[in-house]
Amino acid sequence: MSDRRSAIKGLYVVTDTVIQNRFTHEELAGQAARGGARVMQLRDKKPGSGTLFDTAARFVEVCREAGAISIINDRADIALASGADGVHLGQNDLPVDVAREVLGPDKIIGGTASTIEEALRVEQLGADYVGFGHIFETPTKKKEYAPRGTGYLKKLCEAVSIPVVAIGGIDAGNIRQVVDAGADAVAVCRAVCAAENPESAARSLQEAFRT
């Protein structure tokens, strides 16, 4: 349990081939890992299961070679089949406790929350970490609620005992605010994937996280 949770630390990169099409998921994972990112999440809602599995298998191999944690968004079945280290589940995905039955005791399971109440529920169901956001305004993923901000993030970090991964509009200019609020990890998508040089962008963010 502690090993799974302690793995969620530092820069967490969500790969995306919608906001950019220069690089594949596995290419982005490789570049981000070289830049120092410790956790990678494959997020792709477009392909069917077969295509997604093929992509996930390549993604997992790249992460494994780089010594990075591989997480699959939404799909516990794909995470299991591809040999990924874990899965990240949204509020409308498979419940955390059910995913644990599917994946077994050793896989990392993260759950999404946008309120303290949701975060506590995710923790109660047995998640290894909670992904919380959005912290700042972001064009990457539209939300029906206002940015939560770092003040609310601080309260949430104090309310739960599992690692908190902050996400949403985080970049080199505001990452320190998020870390200072108590986040254990910082998830970014656009700040790395859409950067001119993803490896360099990841390195700058990871250095800012550790400073």
- Contact, 106 vs 96, CB < 8 A? no
pLDDT of residue 142: 66
Q: Where are the domains of the chain?
A: 2-210
pLDDT band at 1 (very low <50, low <70, confident <90, very high): very low
CATH topology of domain 2-210: TIM Barrel (3.20.20)
Please report the pLDDT score of residue 13 as a whole number: 98
| 120: helix, strand or coil | helix
Q: Which two tokens stand for residue 195?
A: 């950067």
Average pLDDT over residues 64-87: 97
- pLDDT digits 0-9 by tens, 125-184: 999 999 999 999 887 666 677 899 999 999 999 999 999 999 999 999 999 999 999 999
Task: State the pTM of this model.
Answer: 0.94
CA 191 to chain centre: 13
Q: How far is CA 88 from the centre of its chain?
A: 7
